[in-house]
Structure 1
Amino acid sequence: MNIQENFLVHFILFYIFLEIYFGVSLNLGLSFQVAQLKLKNSPATFSLLSRRCTRRLGTRMWRRGANLEGDTANFIETEQLLEFEGFRCSSLQIRGSIPLLWEQIVDLSYKPQLKIINHEETPQVVERHFTDLFQRYGETIALDLTDKHGDEGQLSAAYAAEMQKLPNVRYVSFDFHHVCGSSNFDNLQVLYDQISEEYEKQGYFLIDKDGKILEEQKGILRSNCIDCLDRTNVTQSYFAQKSLNIQLQRLGAFASNEYISMFPEDYLKFRTLWAEQGDEISLEYAGTHALKGDLVRYGKQTVAGLIKDGMSALSRYYMNNFHDGIRQDALDLVSGRYTVSKSNPSPFQLNSFESLSYLPVASALVIGGLTLTTFSVQQAGRNAQVYVSSVVWAGVAAGVMALVKANGRQFCSRPRLCRLV
C-alpha cells in the first residue's frame, strides 16, 4: 500500500470515528421509534421499526437505481407494530429506488441530469428484483410517485414499460406533485381509492394473547419516488394510518366509524413517530432531515416547514457535491464492499486536474473572478480609461465560471473505492 492510499484509508477510518461519536449520517440501517397511546383510556404501545438493506448501501447521489443482481439503493423495510390488550399486530411496507440501471452524477448544478443506462440485462434486473420481493413478501403493489415530465418522466416511463412484462405485480403510477402539490395531503385518498381493495386484502400479521396466529400479511406495498425519501414518507404514513385504523377496529378499540385522526393526542404521537422516522432515514441517505415533514406531522405545509425544507435542500446540495464522495467510500469500506489489497493499484491515484475536486478551489475561482469584475466595473465608472481592463476582467470571470461549469464533476467530491453499479 503506497503512502497516499495508506493516508486516505486511515482518513476514512478517522472519518468513521467522527461520525460514530459526533454525528448520525453514517448510520448503516436501523430506525426505531415507540410511543404509548391511550385509545379512549385503553393503553396501547405503538412502534415503528425500519431496517435498511446493505446490499446496495450508499449515499443519495452515488447509489441510485439497481445493480445487476436486482438490489436497489435505499431499500428499506418499515414495520409498524401495535400491542393492545395482549394482541400484537404488525404491518410491513417497503421502499426502494426504481429498479433500473440509472445514475445522477453531481456536477455543481442544483439538479444534475438523470441518465438511464441502456443495458441488455435491464429486463432481467427488474425481474430479479420483483422475484425476490414475491418470494419474501408475496404479491406486490408497486407505487411510483415520480413526476411524469422531464427527466423523472422519462425514468418513470421506462419503469412502467418494464413493469408491463411482470406477473404478480400491480404497477400504479401516481404523480404526487401534480395531484397533491405541496400541501394537499388528503388528496392521497385518490391513490388509496385506486388500490384499497388489493391493499386491504394483503392484510397484516396478528397474534392473540396466547401467541396463536390469527392473520398473516399476504403481500407488500412498495413505494418509490426519486430519492425514496420525502414523497415516499408522506405516502407510507398515509397508508400506515389506514392500516392502523383497520387493526384498531378489528381489536375493538374503535367502533367501525372511529379513526385515529379523531383522537388528537394519539394522532399527534402517530404522526410524530412517522415524521421522526422519515428524518432518520433521510439523514442516513441524504445527510439532512426529510422534506415535506410538515405534511406528515400536521397534514399541511407551514411557513416554518417551508423555511426548514429550504435549508435542508441547500444542505443536500452541499452534501451531494462536496461531502458524499468520502462518505460513500467510508460506507463501502465498513460494509465490506471494498477490501484493501496490497496487490491492487491504489484507487486514490489522481490525475492533476482531478486533484482540484473540492469546494475551496471552485469557490475561490468563482468568487475571485466576480470580485475582480466588480472592482474593475467600479473603477471604470470613475475613470473611463480603465474600461478596457474592466472588460478583460469580466471576460476572465466569465471564462472561469464557464470552466467550472463545464468541468463541474471534477470539482465535486467523488467516491474512489467502488464503481457505481
Structure 2
Amino acid sequence: MSGFQNIHAEVGSDKVVVTMIARRCTRRIGTRCWRRGADPEGYAANFVESEQIMQTKGYTASYVQVRGSMPFLWEQIVDLTYKPSFDIVRVEEAARVLERHYHDLQKKYGAVVGIDLVNTTGGEGRLYERYAKSIEPILSEDIRCHFPQFGFPLLWLSVPNWATLSTYCRFIHFDFHKICGHIHFERLSQLYDQIEDYLKKHKYFLLDDQGKKMAGQTGTVRTNCVDCLDRTNVTQSMVGRKTLESQLQQLGVLGGNDTISNHPAFDADYKVLWANHGDAISTQYSGTPALKGDFVRYGKRTTQGILNDLWNALARYYFNNFADGTKQDAMDLLQGHYVSSVSRDAAVPSRPGVMQSFRAAFALIFCAAMFMLMSLRQARNDLRHLVVALVWAGLCVGIALYVKKNGRKFCNRPRFYLSRN
C-alpha cells in the first residue's frame, strides 16, 4: 500500500515540486495495538518507506527513509487501561530477530542509522533496554574501538563477511520526551548534530537535466518511537527538511547559508506536506491523524493542536479497546495471513460475546450508578432509601473494580486464531 502527495512552490525565480510517497510493507500489517514489534522473520509492524522527491531546473533528487516498530518480539494487549503494559515475548530470540531485520535493511538500503526515540523510564524504558541489549551480541568490537571520537550513544553492527566500512549500522538513542518535552521540538537540532556526518556521507539520489545519474543514496535512516507515528513523523520531517535544503543548495536554488524557513510560502507548504504525510500513515495504523501534527504543520505547538491531540488520544483509546479487533481480522483476511493458522475445515469463529463490548461494560456501571442516584434522591425522606443507595454505591464500585480487573474480557479482540508474533 502506498500514499502520494505533492506541492508546487516558487523559490525566487525557480519552480520547485516536492512529492512525498509512502510505501507500507504488508508482511506485518495491522492495527496499532494488535501488531507490535517484529515477527520471527524480522518483518516489523508499521514499517513504512517514505520517499521525498524534489524536481527543479530539470533535475530530480530523491531521499528515502524508513520507520518501523522496534524489531524484536513484543506486544501490548489492550485491557481498558489508557496505556496497557508492554510484554517482551521470547526474549532469547530478540537478538536473532533484530539481526535478521537489520541485515534485510542493509541489503536493500546499504548503511543504516537506527534512531530510537522512546523514553528511558517506565515501560518504554524496558523496550529501549531490550533493544540495546539485543544489539550487543552482534557488535563488532574491532570496529567499535576504532571510532572513539563519537561521543553520543553509538553502536556498530557486525556484518557477515565484512569487507569495507562503507556498509555499517549505527544505533542512536534520543529520549524525545526528556529532551524536547511537549513544546521544545527545536531541540531536535541536537539529534541532527549527531547524524549530520552520516547524512552528508551517504548523500541522496540525483539525476541531472539530461537524466544522467549524478549521485546515489548509499544509506538510510530508520526511525522509531513506540507507535512510529507522532515523535517519528516530527523527526523524519526534520531529516527530510535538512536533506531538501542540501539538494536545493547544491543546485543553486538556495544560497549556501539559505534555508527553507527564509521562504515563508514554500516553508508553509512543505510543513503541510509532511503533516499530511504523517496523518495518512497514522490514520491507517491508529485510526486517527498523528499527534503533534501542529508542530509539523505550523512549526510550533498551538492551543488548537493540543486540543486536537487530546481528542485524537481519546479516539485512539476507543478504537484500540472496542473496534480494532474486528479491523485486525479484516486485514488478516484480506492479506491471507490466517489461512496457514486455521484449517479449511475449521468453523468460522463466532461473534464476540456480550461481555466483549464497550456497551456491556458501560451499561453495567451506568445502571448501578443510576439506581444509586435514584435512591439518594429519596434518602432525605426515608432512611431505608439511604441504605439502598449505599448498597447500590457498593455494587457500582464492585462492578467498576470487576471491569478493571477483567478489562481484556471487555475489549474487542481479533477472533481468528493467529500467533500474535
Check whether TM > 0.5: yes
1:311 is matched with 311
1:15 is matched with none
Amino acid at match of 2:46: N
2:347 is matched with 346
RMSD of aligned residue pairs (Cα, Å)? 1.5
Decide which of 60, 82, 94 is 2:54's aligned counterpart.
82
1:224 is matched with 224
Cα pair 2:31 2:327 within 8 Å, conserved: yes
Determine if the alignment matches structure 1 residue 238 to structure 2 residue 210.
no
2:419 is matched with 419
CA distance in 2 between partners of 1:150 and 1:97 (Å): 18
The 1:347/1:106 distance shift into structure 2, 3 A limit, reads farther
Could you give the per-residue CA deviations for residues 51-92 of structure 1, whole angstroms, max 9, x where no partner exists? Answer: 000000000000000100000000000000001111100001
1:138-287 alignment runs, 5 A limit: 138-164=110-136, 165=138, 166-167=157-158, 168-287=168-287
SS of the residue 1:38 aligns to: strand
Amino acid at match of 1:293: G
1:400 is matched with 399
1:103 is matched with 75
Amino acid at match of 1:332: D
Q: 1:375, CA displacement in angstroms?
A: 2.3
Q: 1:339, CA displacement in angstroms?
A: 3.1
2:368 is matched with 369
Could you give the per-residue CA deviations for residues 369-405 of structure 1, whole angstroms, max 9, x where no partner exists? Answer: 2222222233334422323222211121111111111
The 1:298/1:343 distance shift into structure 2, 3 A limit, reads closer
CA distance in 2 between partners of 1:135 and 1:343 (Å): 37
CA distance in 2 between partners of 1:334 and 1:319 (Å): 20
Decide which of 64, 84, 107 is 1:92's aligned counterpart.
64
CA distance in 1 between partners of 2:171 and 2:376 (Å): 58
CA distance in 2 between partners of 1:373 and 1:57 (Å): 46
The 1:50/1:381 distance shift into structure 2, 3 A limit, reads same
Decide which of 12, 21, 25 is 1:49's aligned counterpart.
21
Amino acid at match of 1:344: D
1:14-53 alignment runs, 5 A limit: 29-53=1-25
Determine if the alignment matches structure 1 residue 330 to structure 2 residue 330.
yes
Q: 1:343, CA displacement in angstroms?
A: 3.6
1:121 is matched with 93
CA distance in 1 between partners of 2:85 and 2:321 (Å): 14
Deviates further, 376-385 or 292-301:
376-385
Could you give the per-residue CA deviations for residues 13-42 of structure 1, whole angstroms, max 9, x where no partner exists? Answer: xxxxxxxxxxxxxxxx31111111111121
Amino acid at match of 1:346: A
Cα pair 2:272 2:297 within 8 Å, conserved: yes
Cα pair 2:349 2:415 within 8 Å, conserved: yes
Amino acid at match of 2:349: F
Deviates further, 386-395 or 187-196:
386-395
Cα pair 2:372 2:388 within 8 Å, conserved: no
CA distance in 2 between partners of 1:374 and 1:191 (Å): 55
Q: 1:154, CA displacement in angstroms?
A: 0.7
Q: 1:349, CA displacement in angstroms?
A: 4.2
Task: Tell me the number of residue pairs that the alignment of Structure 1 and Structure 2 aligns.
Answer: 391
CA distance in 1 between partners of 2:238 and 2:345 (Å): 49
Q: 1:188, CA displacement in angstroms?
A: 0.3
CA distance in 1 between partners of 2:5 and 2:381 (Å): 65
CA distance in 1 between partners of 2:92 and 2:129 (Å): 18
2:162 is matched with none
Amino acid at match of 2:115: L
The answer for unaligned runs of 5 or more in structure 2 is 139-156, 159-167
CA distance in 2 between partners of 1:66 and 1:123 (Å): 12
CA distance in 2 between partners of 1:375 and 1:215 (Å): 76
Amino acid at match of 1:47: T
CA distance in 1 between partners of 2:277 and 2:381 (Å): 59
Deviates further, 41-50 or 377-386:
377-386
Determine if the alignment matches structure 1 residue 132 to structure 2 residue 73.
no
The answer for unaligned runs of 5 or more in structure 1 is 1-28
SS of the residue 1:43 aligns to: strand
CA distance in 2 between partners of 1:331 and 1:346 (Å): 19
CA distance in 2 between partners of 1:383 and 1:238 (Å): 67
Q: 1:118, CA displacement in angstroms?
A: 3.1
Q: 1:342, CA displacement in angstroms?
A: 6.8
Deviates further, 322-331 or 396-405:
396-405
CA distance in 1 between partners of 2:91 and 2:187 (Å): 37
1:16 is matched with none
Percent identity between matched residues is 44
CA distance in 1 between partners of 2:348 and 2:79 (Å): 21
CA distance in 1 between partners of 2:27 and 2:397 (Å): 44
1:11 is matched with none
Could you give the per-residue CA deviations for residues 142-184 of structure 1, whole angstroms, max 9, x where no partner exists? Answer: 0000011100011111111112333232111111111111111
SS of the residue 2:11 aligns to: coil
Deviates further, 335-344 or 91-100:
335-344
